[in-house]
Amino acid sequence: MQTYASFSPPPRLLLGPGPSNVAPSVLKAMSLPLLGHLDPEFVKMMEEIKAMLRQVFITRNDLTFPISGTGSAGMEFCFVNLVEPGDEVVIGVNGVFGGRMADVAERCGAKVTRVEAPWGQIIEPQQIADALKNKRPKIVAIVHAETSTGALTPVEEISRLAHEAGALFLLDTVTSLGGCPVKIDEWQVDAVYSGTQKCLSCPPGLAPVSLNARALEVARKRKTKVQSWYLDVNLLSSYWGQERVYHHTAPISMNYALHEALRLVLAEGLEARWRRHEQNHLALKNGLAAAGLELASKNGHPLWSLNPVTVPGSVDEALVRKRLLGEFNIEIGAGLGPLKGKIWRIGLMGESSKKENVEKVIEALRTTLRN
Amino acid sequence: MQTYASFSPPPRLLLGPGPSNVAPSVLKAMSLPLLGHLDPEFVKMMEEIKAMLRQVFITRNDLTFPISGTGSAGMEFCFVNLVEPGDEVVIGVNGVFGGRMADVAERCGAKVTRVEAPWGQIIEPQQIADALKNKRPKIVAIVHAETSTGALTPVEEISRLAHEAGALFLLDTVTSLGGCPVKIDEWQVDAVYSGTQKCLSCPPGLAPVSLNARALEVARKRKTKVQSWYLDVNLLSSYWGQERVYHHTAPISMNYALHEALRLVLAEGLEARWRRHEQNHLALKNGLAAAGLELASKNGHPLWSLNPVTVPGSVDEALVRKRLLGEFNIEIGAGLGPLKGKIWRIGLMGESSKKENVEKVIEALRTTLRN
């Protein structure tokens, strides 16, 4: 048998679309000795995670907890529990993740109406209003922050329209939570999911979710069984609720990390954290301009945590990313879909959102583009 | 806002049904700085994980990798990809996990035939032969090691019967892999899943899976889309294969841990590791006998990694577990289903399978039962 050496990762500055860099105390939490998943001390920590998640989502929803999978599992959790075959769902599609929501919903048997906007643009309330004119869909779903383009869609008005049409309002906050205002109760979001590896700066592996009473009632009163056993909220709520009924073995160490990451978010304070993300976004924008580069988002709704940068005409964008990684240990992201080759994506999320990192990436880009 | 203190777990000796204790170098691997999920260094490590998993499963299956969820997500992966609505599936049910397989398969639209044995007993080949008399099911599925009872079902003969009937043979190796012989190619297992937190002694959060060419062809030639986007093998194989197409953000730190855990398994050697599990199982059996206690499994197929112990008649089993945890920092498991209150479950898995741990738990049980 071949033998292998222990893995030793190079020290990367993570300025891509996620994961972001992680605070030392979060890494330390990952290395704490394990507990059983029904241990009273672990259960106490689960309660603290739920309480902290409620503060970060700004919600009183009792059912607020992390799914044992990455952000896409959180997306699937929302759709498998709320959709039954034949249900109508209206989904805003202005990038990769809106398209993914439509795919996931269709796999649940939904009849999906896609409300499309060009990549980089937001979904306008009027588009949703038009789509709802002759419809009473069960769900209206929107991606708050499109990681693939850096567009932030304002959702309060869309939420109002969805409820007027009798629908649940479902929101993807994977790249917004912890990096800009996300107000679940105030915005009347019925179902929401996020990821841990973006602005919360916890390693990837969990997906915080929250359902309000209205969404939970829909899941409880289904005529058909939830097609996923792993993501069935009726089973999961018994484990994460008061009964503590064994469902699956929770990822112990990942929950340690999330506990510590949430603790840091709340210690900094949500408002201060949002402001920090805004300031470093502006510093990047100004620094890029001084270097002769510019942000690709121009519609007045830029995302602070994920910045699309226009690749200058004659530049080999893949080579620039390769050199940033090889010579500077800096990761930035590529464009996807129609934006492939046209933009870079510079993430300034959580621990990665620092003034010194903005300076480092601009300096590295300057140097690389010069020769 | 309320603030929270960092979490500090008590030092538990984990002798329950999993998670097991984890080697210091695995905990250390969890605390390594993050890489991006498409970073060439991470991709190289993914290749090593795949190669090591093949050695541990003793298979040449190209499609061998960890699902980004716990063991139950591995189970769901196998069924959602292989089952289409209306397919017939034969499942051996002799404990919690056989029952769970039937539930998961039905949620995929399968017509399930349950081949049942009393909890604690194995599934006999003759039972499967009888069930296959007038059937040509698509899949025959068996739990190799029933964690809920401690019974180890020999599967070579059942595999032969499944193939004679034209079915795929699907195997749950959650509690056997790394703790006793598991030979995927030799036994002609077409699809297999496991967990990380049992005999591999890695924290919970990933589910190693392997499909052979025959199973993969079934998944590729489906008429219907796989109902789970997150677990769709056709998408996952593009990320874990040569193309490296972005699917979801892999749990970076969990993969670091699995890499190190697999490295330790192979450094010890599979045969040596199996022998260690057997020896400590025998030591426990003898030690329990000397203490006036006995193993509940009596059918000649005891599982070395999970030992059911008969609770003496007048004893409050929950109180004993509570005292073991509170006074000795030792976790053991409770009985489930019809065995609730009747057995304890003592796990000796991976790092937890040590002579000194056997002595500790027997001494703790002796002391606790004395007063």
- CATH code, domain with A323: 3.90.1150.10
Of the three residues B266, B296, B320, the one that is the final residue of a domain is B266
Using the beta-carbon criterion (under 8 Å), do A69 and B72 form an inter-chain contact? no
Minimum CA–CA partner of A16 in chain B: B36
Could you tell me if residue A8 is inside a domain? no
The ipTM (two decimal places) reads: 0.97
Asked if A107 lies within 8 A of B229 by C-beta distance, the reply is yes
Q: What is the pLDDT of residue B1?
A: 62
Whether residues B70 and A68 touch (CB distance < 8 A) is answered with yes
A44 Cβ neighbours under 8 A, 6+ residues apart: none
Q: List chain B residues with pLDDT less than 50.
A: none
> Pick from B12, B51, B68: which is nearest to A36 by CB?
B12
Residues of B in contact with A104 (CB under 8 A): 229
A25 phi and psi angles, rounded to 5 deg = -70, -25
Bridge partners (DSSP) listed for residue B345: B308, B333
B38 SS3 class: coil
pLDDT recorded at residue B267? 97
What residues of chain A lie within 8 A of the CB of B71, using their CB?
A: 248-249
* B5: in domain: no
- Specify the CATH number for the domain of residue B137: 3.40.640.10
What mean pLDDT value characterizes chain A? 96
DSSP reduced 3-state for B66:
strand
* B275 and B259 within one domain: no
Q: Please give the Cα distance from B352 to B355 (Å, whole number).
A: 9
Give domain status of residue A224, yes or no.
Answer: yes
Residue A1 has pLDDT above 70, yes or no: no
B18 has a chain A CB within 8 A of its CB: yes
Pair A276, A239 in one domain: no
Shortest distance between the Cα of A253 and any Cα of chain B, in A, equals: 7
Could you say which of B204, B232, B266 is where a domain stops? B266
The answer to whether residues B245 and B302 belong to one domain is no
pLDDT at A299 over 80: no
Residue A237 belongs to some domain of the structure: yes
* CA distance, residue A312 to nearest chain B CA (Å): 24
Could you report the per-residue pLDDT of B140-172, keeping only the tens digit for each? 999 999 999 999 999 999 999 999 999 999 999
Instruction: Indicate whether B238 and B297 sit together in one domain.
Output: no
In this structure, are B294 and B239 located in the same domain?
Answer: no
Q: Is the per-residue pLDDT at A203 higher than 70?
A: yes
The residue segments making up the domain with residue A343 are: 13-17+270-370
Please give the Cα distance from A250 to B19 (Å, whole number).
9
In chain A, the largest separation of any two C-alpha atoms, in whole Å, equals 65
Task: Among B241, B266, B291, identify where a domain stops.
Answer: B266
Enumerate the residues of chain A whose CB falls inside 8 A of the CB of residue B9: 32-35, 41-42, 45, 256
Residue A7 domain-assigned (yes or no) = no
Decide if A6 is inside a domain: no
Using the Cβ of A32 and the Cβ atoms of chain B, whether some distance falls under 8 Å is answered with yes
A73:B248 CB<8 A: yes
- If asked whether residues B173 and B35 sit together in one domain, one would say yes
Q: Looking at A76-90, A156-170, A242-256, which range is the least confident one?
A: A242-256
Domain-located, residue A3: no
Q: Do A229 and B103 count as a contact with CB atoms less than 8 A apart? A: yes
Per-residue pLDDT tens digits for A46-97: 999 999 999 999 999 999 999 999 999 999 999 999 999 999 999 999 999 9
CA proximity to B330, closest of B308, B307, B359, B304: B359
Q: List, edge to edge, every strand of the sheet that includes B343-347.
A: B13-15, B330-334, B343-347, B306-310
pLDDT at A139: 98
Q: Provide the phi-psi class of A89: left if phi over 0, else alpha when psi is between -120 and 50, else beta.
A: beta
Residue A107's Cα: distance from chain center in Å? 21
| Number of domains observed in the structure of chain B | 2
- What pLDDT is stored for residue B304 in this prediction? 97
Residue A254 shares a structural domain with residue A343: no
B37 and B182 assigned to the same domain: yes
Query: Is A75 within the bounds of a domain?
Result: yes
Quote the pLDDT of residue A57: 98
**A180 DSSP 8-state letter:** B
Q: What is the pLDDT of residue B299?
A: 73
Same domain? A87 vs A186: yes
Query: pTM for the whole thing?
Result: 0.98
Residues B201 and B251 placed together within one structural domain of the fold: yes
Q: Which candidate from A3, A30, A107 shows the least CB-CB separation from B253?
A: A30
Contact A4 B39 (CB under 8 A): no
B33 to A11: CB separation less than 8 angstroms, yes or no: yes
Together in a domain, B260 and B278:
no
Please tell me the distance from the alpha carbon of residue A125 to that of residue A132, in angstroms, as a whole number: 11
Helix axes B355-370, B270-290, angle to 10 degrees: 20
**Distance (Å) from the C-alpha of residue B301 to the closest C-alpha of chain A?**
25
Same domain, A256 and A312: no
Q: Establish if A56 touches chain B: CB-CB under 8 angstroms.
A: no
For residue A307, what are the β-bridge partners? Answer: A346
